[in-house]
């Protein structure tokens, strides 16, 4: 559903992401892994046309991304950004309803359906009875879940998540990934997730993309990608790799 | 059903409040008709009473309502757009830009009545653009930067205005000083029609962008991600507020602080949803300026105060309060 062809992105003359190509299929969860400053966020921002491409192209459902209007893109692609602007004292329900903007008209008021979807999204994110709480009075983790609820409320088929678990406690990290996974497996959505938690990537991602100084150096399933050599190259650390005895996925332990 | 109830509740509260505001506006207008240096008996108007009512008092009251609505609309939309409760046309120098434009039209194109609002609109747009460019920084726009940029532009424009006023003769100077402070005594029917037309256009454009503005209040990046054409909305709001302020200032000078006080009170009453804040601000702004002008007319009758003096008297302390809170 998303085809990325040789894209180069930068600020001014400085190229931050160079010549990256990959494709995202229905139901896929793709994890982008790389060191700080490797260009992960820049890459993600270009995928919903927030940042212009210097080179290459992106096809959304076979059509070039630049042929879509802002509303059309927002209906198909949603993001959970890294630095979120949530300091405005707005109620949780109104915040989540903002996710329905692209579905309404110009003089739009929310329909009954919009309201229902917003309430459902809050409920699956473990936020029942939060509707009238105010955003700037929530904890970081609660806010993060509200942001997920808003993203889910868009009903977009592609989810772009930039370090979505940063502020979450263990149970809500798992909840976040379970919800994303359910969306992808159940509704044929697809997700691209930037994460520093390699074990979560190993558990939940179908594919992992390694990014180093703006270039893609490997892509494949977690077991292929999470090797001692690759992790040494990306992070310059030594790791112990074994198998998670329950899920049978590769498990990564840092050796300090 | 839970969802139906939520939507209905929002509507019924706003309908009730809308009715209340409308009744208050009618009341304010009736009071304004009655009070004045000449008290008018509603039901037995003599010939001279009629002249006072239809040639002087009524255009003035209606212009006051229209100017109040225009300034409150401009303030409400600028505050949402710039995410800053202190954004106000008078404080940002937009009113002064319009005043300078009006003045230039007055000096150079005195024979064309319509040159004044056109030049006022141009001046307001330029001032808006300059303040926005000055206040913008890579790190975003904070309260202090915006207010300081406004102060700089305001004082700069004021000095040019003073330059021109010193060329006027003594009689013109007095009426001009009054006008600069915000004065409705020069009201004409034409002035009212023009200002009211701008208010109608303004409400329509702003309501069309109200939901987008709601998202932009949360954050511009965010709004863009969720489907708002941020640049288009910004341009629409800047152009509309310049139109509103331009026509208001051309007719009545710089009535200050209306755009600050009114949206603030409206938000306290109904929350920050722009789809409600915008129409309610228009109504409340009209009530406020009509009432303030009534006070200005009767406080030291038979002499008059400029209405801008009354609004500033209430607005300045409120500005300090809001600045301390933000």
Taking contacts as CB-CB distances below 8 angstroms, the residues of chain A near B228 are: 70, 101
Cα–Cα separations (whole angstroms), residue B72 to B134, B204, B239, B264: 24, 15, 15, 10
Beta strands in B42-171 (DSSP E): none
Six token digits for residue A227: 């090797």
Domains (range + CATH), chain A:
2-255 (3.40.50.300)
At B51 the pLDDT is 79
Length of chain B: 326
User: Of chain A residues 170-199, which have a CB less than 8 A from chain B?
Assistant: none
* Contact residues for A34 (Cβ-Cβ < 8 A; gap 6+): A40, A210, A211, A212, A234
**Does residue A124 have a cis bond before it (omega within 30 degrees)?**
no
Cα–Cα separations (whole angstroms), residue A77 to A50, A70, A82, A117, B65: 11, 10, 16, 17, 45
A84 CB within 8 Å of a chain B CB: yes
Q: Give the gap in angstroms from C-alpha B75 to the nearest C-alpha of chain A.
A: 18
At A88 the pLDDT is 74
- How many Å apart are CA A210 and CA B173, to the nearest integer? 73
pLDDT tens digits for range B40-76: 666 667 777 777 788 888 999 999 999 999 999 999 9
Main-chain phi, psi angles of A74, to 5 degrees: -65, -25
- Label residue A218 left, alpha or beta by phi (over 0 means left) and psi (-120 to 50 means alpha): beta
Tell me the β-bridge partners of A219.
A209
With beta carbons less than 8 A apart as the criterion, state whether A168 and A176 touch: yes
With beta carbons less than 8 A apart as the criterion, state whether B255 and B308 touch: yes
- How many Å apart are CA B326 and CA B323, to the nearest integer? 5
Local confidence pLDDT in tens for the 256 residues of chain A = 899 999 999 888 889 999 999 999 999 999 999 999 899 999 999 999 988 899 999 999 999 999 999 999 999 999 998 766 666 788 999 999 999 999 986 677 888 899 999 999 999 999 999 998 998 889 888 988 999 999 999 999 999 999 988 888 889 888 888 899 998 988 889 999 999 999 999 999 999 999 999 999 999 999 999 999 999 999 988 999 999 999 899 999 998 8
At A152 the pLDDT is 94
At B42 the pLDDT is 66
Six token digits for residue B316: 């300045």
Taking contacts as CB-CB distances below 8 angstroms, the residues of chain A near B210 are: 107
- How many Å apart are CA A166 and CA A174, to the nearest integer? 12
* Contact residues for B129 (Cβ-Cβ < 8 A; gap 6+): B238
The domain covering B56-325 belongs, at the CATH homologous superfamily level, to ABC transporter involved in vitamin B12 uptake, BtuC (1.10.3470.10)
- Say which of B208, B222, B275 has its CB closest to residue A85: B222
- Say which of B218, B226, B275 has its CB closest to residue A109: B275
- Domain positions in chain B are 56-325
- How many Å apart are CA A172 and CA B215, to the nearest integer? 26
At A12 the pLDDT is 81
| A129-147: burial string, b at 16+ Cβ within 10 Å, e else | ebbebebeebeeebbbbbb
| B178-202: burial string, b at 16+ Cβ within 10 Å, e else | bbbbbbbbebeeebbebbbebbeeb
* Contact residues for A200 (Cβ-Cβ < 8 A; gap 6+): A165, A173, A177
- How many Å apart are CA A181 and CA B20, to the nearest integer? 51
Six token digits for residue A92: 């949780």
Q: What is the ipTM of this complex?
A: 0.90
At A98 the pLDDT is 92
Six token digits for residue A119: 């309430």
Beta strands in A12-113 (DSSP E): 14-24, 29-34, 55-60, 63-64, 77-80
At B293 the pLDDT is 93
Six token digits for residue B45: 């108007």
pLDDT tens digits for range B139-161: 666 667 888 888 899 999 999 98
The chain-wide mean pLDDT, for chain B, equals 87
The conformation of residue B52, written as its DSSP 8-state character, comes to I
Local confidence pLDDT in tens for the 326 residues of chain B = 566 677 677 778 888 889 999 999 999 999 998 887 677 666 667 777 777 788 888 999 999 999 999 999 999 999 998 888 888 888 888 999 999 998 888 888 877 878 888 999 999 999 999 998 888 876 666 667 888 888 899 999 999 988 888 877 777 777 778 888 888 888 889 889 999 999 999 999 999 999 999 999 888 888 999 999 998 999 999 999 999 999 999 899 888 899 999 999 999 888 889 999 999 999 999 999 999 999 998 888 778 888 888 998 988 888 788 778 76
Q: Give the gap in angstroms from C-alpha B221 to the nearest C-alpha of chain A.
A: 8
Share of chain A above pLDDT 70, in %: 97
Taking contacts as CB-CB distances below 8 angstroms, the residues of chain B near A119 are: 2-3
- Say which of B209, B225, B273 has its CB closest to residue A48: B225
Strand order in the sheet with A158-162: A77-80, A158-162, A190-194, A29-34, A207-212, A215-220
With beta carbons less than 8 A apart as the criterion, state whether A165 and A176 touch: yes
Most A CBs within 10 A among B225, B264, B277, hence the mutation to make, goes to: B225
């Amino acid at each position: 559903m998303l085809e990325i062809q040789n894209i180069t992105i930068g600020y001014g003359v400085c190229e931050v992401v160079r010549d990256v190509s990959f494709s995202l299929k229905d139901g896929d969860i793709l994890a982008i892994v790389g060191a700080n400053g490797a260009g992960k966020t820049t890459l993600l921002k270009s995928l919903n046309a927030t940042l212009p491409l210097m080179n290459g192209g992106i096809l959304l459902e076979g059509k070039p991304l630049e042929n879509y209007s802002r509303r059309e893109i927002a209906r198909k692609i949603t993001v959970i950004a890294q630095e979120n602007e949530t300091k405005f004292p707005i109620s949780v329900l109104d915040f989540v309803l903002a996710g329905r903007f692209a579905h309404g008209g110009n003089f739009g008021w929310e329909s009954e359906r919009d309201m229902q979807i917003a309430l459902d999204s809050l409920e699956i994110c473990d936020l029942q009875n939060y509707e009238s709480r105010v955003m700037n009075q929530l904890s970081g983790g609660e806010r993060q879940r509200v942001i997920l609820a808003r993203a889910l409320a868009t009903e977009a088929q592609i989810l772009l998540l930039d370090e979505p678990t940063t502020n979450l406690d263990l149970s809500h990290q798992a909840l976040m990934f379970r919800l994303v996974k359910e969306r992808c497996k159940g509704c044929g959505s697809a997700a691209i997730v930037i994460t520093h938690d390699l074990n979560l990537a190993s558990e939940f991602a179908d594919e992992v993309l390694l990014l180093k100084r703006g270039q893609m150096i490997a892509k494949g399933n977690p077991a292929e990608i999470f090797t001692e050599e690759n992790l040494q190259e990306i992070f310059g650390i030594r790791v112990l790799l074994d198998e998670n005895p329950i899920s049978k996925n590769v498990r990564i332990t840092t050796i300090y | 059903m839970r969802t139906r109830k939520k939507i209905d509740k929002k509507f019924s509260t706003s309908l009730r409040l809308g009715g209340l505001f409308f009744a208050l506006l009618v009341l304010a207008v009736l009071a304004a008709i009655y009070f004045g240096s000449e008290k008018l008996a509603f039901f037995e108007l003599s010939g001279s009473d009629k002249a006072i009512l239809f040639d002087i008092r009524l255009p003035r009251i209606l212009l006051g309502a229209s100017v109040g609505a225009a300034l409150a609309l401009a303030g409400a939309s600028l505050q949402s757009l710039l995410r800053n409760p202190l954004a106000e046309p008078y404080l940002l120098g937009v009113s002064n830009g319009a005043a300078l434009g009006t003045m230039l039209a007055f000096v150079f194109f005195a024979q064309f009545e319509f040159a004044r609002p056109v030049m006022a609109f141009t001046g307001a747009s330029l001032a808006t653009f300059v303040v926005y460019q000055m206040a913008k920084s890579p790190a975003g726009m904070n309260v202090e930067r915006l207010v300081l940029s406004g102060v700089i532009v305001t004082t700069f424009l004021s000095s040019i205005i003073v330059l021109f006023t010193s060329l006027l003769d003594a009689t013109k100077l007095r009426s001009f000083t009054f006008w600069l402070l915000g004065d409705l005594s020069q009201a004409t029917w034409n002035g009212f029609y023009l200002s009211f037309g701008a208010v109608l256009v303004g409400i329509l454009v702003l309501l069309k962008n109200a939901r987008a503005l709601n998202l932009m209040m949360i954050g511009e990046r965010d709004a863009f991600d969720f489907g708002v054409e941020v640049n288009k909305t910004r341009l629409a709001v800047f152009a509309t507020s310049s139109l509103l302020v331009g026509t208001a200032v051309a007719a009545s000078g710089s009535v200050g602080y209306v755009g600050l006080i009114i949206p603030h009170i409206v938000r306290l009453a109904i929350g920050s949803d722009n789809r409600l804040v915008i129409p309610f601000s228009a109504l409340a702004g009209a009530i406020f300026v009509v009432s303030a002008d009534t006070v200005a007319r009767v406080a030291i009758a038979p002499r008059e105060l400029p209405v801008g003096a009354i609004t500033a008297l209430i607005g300045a302390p409120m500005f300090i309060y809001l600045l301390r809170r933000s």
